[in-house]
């Protein structure tokens, strides 16, 4: 791997499979390549890579002018999730990814910001905790954003080790939040480090991968880019001087390429450690790309404005929107020798991560966890999943949305009577509002919204 420069668904119980051998047998029958018999007693390592504010068309394999050779190589050899949904902002997506539950169940509707005391509830089961109970070593490197204080850092939620920052954004070199607060930590205790956050996050992940350990690991790598403030040196900017005229977009592209190279270094470390074939890699973004950032009030006015950031074409909308551009992101799963190359056009989401990876790890899924996603293992193996289409639900406070099959409803609460209905099968760009033409379909999705809202706290 080159390192060069540039649903929520209604909760349901799941029949447990108590033997890892049975789990692997299920996947083998679904078309995965045969695993060695002497590895049956050891489940795979699990690696999640999350970009921050990466847009739909900000990766090379989606036609971007940004060079992402390492991500492209993994995506083209793995299973691309071409209708993968998240929340339109970061804290909710991260909450849902780690709990398998809609973040609005916890009252998390948007970014945990400023000096908020809000945090993920301490009593909720997380993917890290479930895997740790099952014998996994667990670690996170990078962005947390589910509690802004050491008292509610990652180690309180199932991670053996933690490194990175608590907040949702930071100065990439000073490692301070926008109001000047400290946020960089190791094992939930503040520390001071030198270097660009992208490099520090990758270096910590690489150190972790180089360590000898007998048990499988779950490593969550959450990058700080391409979220603003964007600070990159000439190494990453120069290759785009002729390719991209807009200085703001050029800087954004440099940060994406920097992250891509970090991904390449991490995968190289896995390969050198002899663990690549035993590791499932999931890549995603926490939300769609941000259109721009014009304020200069943060960080003492040192950075920005950024008139051109992400690119979500051909999707409509941006980070913060419930249109496809805000909630549909690049994502793929790579497992060398086990998963073949494919592009999945069926709906998948951040809520599927917990049940899918936990099952791969041999974990029995308890009904008391109230998981709302699906185990999409069969889908990754090339099989259809029987049953009704998943239902996804978003609640950002000011707006709510439901997606069932190809139909999507958006209700803007601050504008009474504002209802939008789209058929994504024929109108993925959400250009034609069918709410008036299809009142019965709109009413059906309104009923789904009402049911989901009753499940919120």
pLDDT value at residue 296: 85
pLDDT digits (tens, 9 = 90+) for 276-324: 999 999 999 999 999 999 988 899 999 999 999 999 999 999 999 999 9
Look at residue 159 and tell me whether its pLDDT is greater than 90.
yes
Can 145 be counted among the known catalytic residues? yes
pLDDT value at residue 19: 35
Please give the CATH architecture assigned to the domain spanning 398-455.
2-Layer Sandwich (3.30)
Residue 42: C-alpha distances to residues 27, 214, 215, 217, 428 (Å): 15, 10, 8, 11, 42
SS3 sequence, 304-339?
CCECCCCCCCCCCCCCCCCCHHHHECCEEEECCCCC
Look at residue 31 and tell me whether its pLDDT is greater than 80.
no
CB atoms closer than 10 angstroms to residue 185: 21
Look at 125 and 23; give whichever has higher pLDDT. 125
pLDDT digits (tens, 9 = 90+) for 33-51: 333 333 346 899 999 999 9
8 A C-beta contact, residue 91 and residue 409: no
- Average pLDDT taken over every residue of the chain: 91
pLDDT value at residue 32: 42
pLDDT digits (tens, 9 = 90+) for 241-272: 999 999 999 999 999 999 999 999 999 999 99
Q: pLDDT category, 415, cuts 50, 70, 90?
A: confident
Look at residue 441 and tell me whether its pLDDT is greater than 50.
yes
pLDDT digits (tens, 9 = 90+) for 166-181: 999 999 999 999 999 9
pTM: 0.91
pLDDT digits (tens, 9 = 90+) for 322-381: 999 999 999 999 999 999 999 999 999 999 999 999 999 999 999 999 999 999 999 999
Q: pLDDT category, 210, cuts 50, 70, 90?
A: very high
pLDDT value at residue 41: 65
pLDDT value at residue 29: 36
| 20-380 classified as CATH 3.50.50.60 | no
139-147: average pLDDT = 98
pLDDT digits (tens, 9 = 90+) for 90-109: 999 999 999 999 999 999 99
pLDDT digits (tens, 9 = 90+) for 50-65: 999 999 999 999 999 9
Please report, rounded to a whole number, the percentage of residues in the chain having pLDDT higher than 90: 87
Can 62 be counted among the known catalytic residues? no
Q: Are both 20-380 and 398-455 of the same fold?
A: no
pLDDT value at residue 68: 98
- Residue from 62, 84, 90, 227 carrying the catalytic annotation: 90
> 147 burial class (0-12, 13-18, 19+ CB within 10 angstroms)?
buried
- Residue from 145, 175, 185, 227 carrying the catalytic annotation: 145
**Domain residue spans of the chain:** 20-380, 398-455
Q: Alpha-carbon distance 64 to 263, whole Å?
A: 18
pLDDT value at residue 16: 35
Q: pLDDT category, 384, cuts 50, 70, 90?
A: confident
């Amino acid at each position: 791997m080159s390192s060069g420069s540039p649903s929520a668904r209604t909760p349901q119980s799941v029949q447990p499979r108590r033997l890892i051998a049975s789990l692997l047998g299920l996947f083998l029958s679904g078309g995965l390549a045969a695993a060695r018999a002497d590895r049956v007693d050891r489940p795979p390592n699990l690696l999640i890579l999350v970009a921050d504010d990466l847009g739909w068309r900000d990766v090379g394999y989606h036609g971007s002018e940004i060079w992402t050779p390492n991500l492209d190589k993994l995506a083209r050899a793995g299973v691309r999730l071409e209708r993968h949904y998240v929340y339109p902002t970061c804290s909710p997506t991260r909450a849902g990814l780690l709990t398998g539950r809609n973040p609005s169940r916890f009252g998390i509707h948007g970014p945990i910001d400023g000096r908020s005391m809000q945090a993920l509830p301490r009593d909720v089961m997380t993917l890290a905790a479930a895997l740790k109970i099952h014998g996994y070593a667990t670690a996170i490197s990078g962005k947390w954003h589910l509690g802004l204080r050491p008292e509610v850092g990652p180690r309180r939620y199932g991670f053996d080790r933690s490194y990175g920052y608590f907040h949702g954004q930071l100065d990439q070199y000073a490692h301070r939040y926008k109001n000047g607060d400290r946020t960089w930590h190791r094992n939930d205790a503040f520390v001071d480090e030198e270097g660009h956050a992208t490099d520090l996050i990758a270096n910590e992940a690489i150190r972790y991968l180089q360590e000898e350990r007998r048990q499988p690991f779950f490593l969550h790598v959450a990058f700080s880019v391409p979220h603003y403030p964007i600070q990159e040196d000439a190494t990453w900017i120069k290759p785009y001087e002729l390719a991209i005229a807009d200085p703001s977009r050029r800087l954004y592209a440099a940060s994406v390429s920097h992250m891509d190279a970090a991904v390449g270094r991490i995968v190289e470390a896995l390969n050198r450690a002899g663990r690549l074939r035993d590791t499932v890699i999931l890549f995603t973004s926490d939300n769609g790309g941000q259109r721009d950032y014009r304020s200069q009030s943060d960080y003492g006015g040192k950075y920005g404005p950024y008139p051109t950031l992400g690119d979500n074409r051909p999707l409509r909308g941006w980070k913060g929107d419930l249109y496809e551009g805000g909630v549909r992101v690049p994502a793929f799963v790579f497992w060398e020798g086990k998963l073949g190359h494919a592009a999945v056009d069926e709906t998948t989401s951040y809520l599927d991560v917990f049940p899918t990876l936990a099952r791969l790890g041999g974990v029995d899924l308890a009904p008391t966890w109230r998981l709302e996603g699906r185990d999409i293992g069969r889908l990754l193996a090339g099989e259809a999943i029987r049953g009704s289409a998943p239902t996804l639900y978003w609640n950002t406070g000011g707006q709510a949305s439901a997606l069932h099959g190809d139909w999507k409803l958006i209700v803007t609460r601050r504008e009474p009577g504002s209802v939008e209905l789209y058929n994504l099968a024929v109108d993925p760009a959400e250009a034609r509002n069918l709410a008036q033409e299809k009142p019965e379909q709109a009413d059906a999705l309104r009923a789904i919204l009402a049911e989901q809202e009753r499940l919120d706290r």
